[in-house]
Amino acid sequence: MRILLLDKNHPLITEQLLAKNFILEEDFTSSYDEVCGKIQNYDGVIIRSRIPLDQNFLEKASNLKFIARVGAGMENIDIPVAEKLRIQLINSPEGNRDSVAEHVVGMLLILMNRLFIASNEVKNGIWLREENRGDELLGKTVGLIGYGNMGKATAKRLSGFGCKVVFHDILPNLSDEFATQVSLDELKEKAEVLSLHIPMTEATHYLVDAGFINEMKNDFYFVNTARGKNVETKCLVEALKSGKVKGACLDVLEYEKASFENLELENEDLQYLLASGKVIVTPHIAGWTHQSKEKLAQVIVDKIIASFC
């Protein structure tokens, strides 16, 4: 099988697939149109986020048997068209679930204990103790929306901090020793911390908007390591200003490029988030550790070999 690799990933992908006699070609620079012009020559494609695999692309990929995304989200693939064309879709959420879970906990600890603010103050000769009194995770009810690989890994860690973890998911009967499944209404009733672990779909676009925020009974901390467009930013900013959202940990932003490589626009809402002491922002790196880079790649290789060897 001939496989086209469109993004740089861990070298084990190349090493292990070559050892299984796959024929590989790397192309990390060609444009969308250039790739469309040759995609019919390949049986498989391995991607991250650089090029969208839309209907036009997939219809030109007349010999494509699989698409493997090194990561969790699949929104840059036209899934209905791929399924209609019987192209197998492969992803690797198992590979970076631990990285995402640790990032969630890390951001919450930094935000709730004012660690970044206090550290910068001391480095600038300011010694404030009462003003930097923290807020403990212990005893808080954390609500997770989505209980797949990321949600479960996050619940496992938060339960170790003495949190009560509840979650809502579209699939039934997912409760385990780390978290209890509840209705969305019950989650809004109980949660003091809210964390998103959902894909980007039509149903989840702007899931967290003004209505959602106002339906939360408690003032709450908010965490998003899922997708930026799961949240309507202007509504989050208003809630931060009013105090309904006590603080926000954002690894993803509504204003990211589709490739996640940078921001595509700036506005007053983004400037507020970047300037606020109540907000931590990281550049879409929750799933990016040295360990997850290898694990993501290994999961992809294992799935390809299982299906095509």
Report DSSP state, residue 75: T
Decide if 282 contacts 250 (C-beta within 8 A). Answer: yes
Residue ranges with strand state E in the chain = 2-5, 23-26, 44-47, 66-69, 88-90, 141-145, 164-168, 180-181, 193-196, 220-224, 245-250, 279-281
Decide if 90 contacts 303 (C-beta within 8 A). Answer: yes
Decide if 67 contacts 77 (C-beta within 8 A). Answer: yes
> What is the C-alpha radius of gyration for the chain, rounded to an integer number of angstroms?
21
Quickly tell me which residue has 């997770």 as its tokens.
144
CA distances from 96 to 106, 150, 285 (A): 15, 8, 10
Task: With residue 114 as reference, give the H or E element that holds it.
Answer: none
Catalytic annotation, residues = 227, 256, 284
**231 phi and psi, to 5 degrees?**
-125, 135
